[in-house]
Amino acid sequence: MTKFVFLDIDGVLNTTGDKELISNTFEKTKLENLVELLRTTDSILVVTSDRRLIEEERLMIEDAFDPYYILVNYLSYKRTHKNRSDEILYYLSNHPSDSYVILDDMDLGYSENEALKPHFINTYKHGFTKDLLLKALELLK
């Protein structure tokens, strides 16, 4: 079955005080942790960040992933539901999977939903660290 990594960007791939940034947005080590997750698990990347709503931001995101040969998918180019958790549920209803992770620095309804709660990894404060990479790898096995 298809595996998905649902990705918020701010607070996941960058945090306050980051030094080595790519495109002024992606901390290199956190981006490389994500690339390792995607490659190791053969997962599909789905960007959930509000940055997906702006064409220039989508181009910047795609440019950051191009050197890694990672195809970037998006929930949609507009908001389809009030909560991001509802948008992910809608996406999953059209792309079934029982193996996915949600990487976000804010709980946007994930822990309130029994289906999403076990798949949510909160990256608050430190972003997508090696420890969280290991947790994500376990969830996607």
User: What is the bridge-based pairing of β-strands 72-74 and 3-7?
Assistant: unpaired
pTM of the model: 0.93
- 3.30.450.20, 3.40.50.1000, 2.60.98.20, 1.20.80.30: CATH of 3-140: 3.40.50.1000
Q: Compute the mean pLDDT over every residue in the chain, rounded to the nearest whole number.
A: 91
Query: Residue 1: which pLDDT band, with cuts at 50, 70 and 90?
Result: confident
Residue 98 near residue 3 (C-beta atoms within 8 A):
no
Q: What is the pLDDT of residue 112?
A: 94
Kindly tell me if the per-residue pLDDT of 51 is higher than 80: yes
Residue 64 near residue 35 (C-beta atoms within 8 A):
no
Residue 47 near residue 61 (C-beta atoms within 8 A):
yes
Phi-psi sector, 42: left (phi>0), alpha (psi -120 to 50), beta:
left
Kindly tell me if the per-residue pLDDT of 20 is higher than 90: no
Q: What's the CA gap between 43 and 96, in Å, rounded?
A: 13
Q: What is the pLDDT of residue 77?
A: 65
Q: What is the pLDDT of residue 136?
A: 98
Kindly tell me if the per-residue pLDDT of 110 is higher than 70: yes
Q: What is the pLDDT of residue 17?
A: 60
CB within 8 Å of 36: residues ≥ 6 apart: 133
Q: What is the pLDDT of residue 15?
A: 83
- Name the residue ranges covered by the structural domains of the chain: 3-140
Query: Residue 4: which pLDDT band, with cuts at 50, 70 and 90?
Result: very high
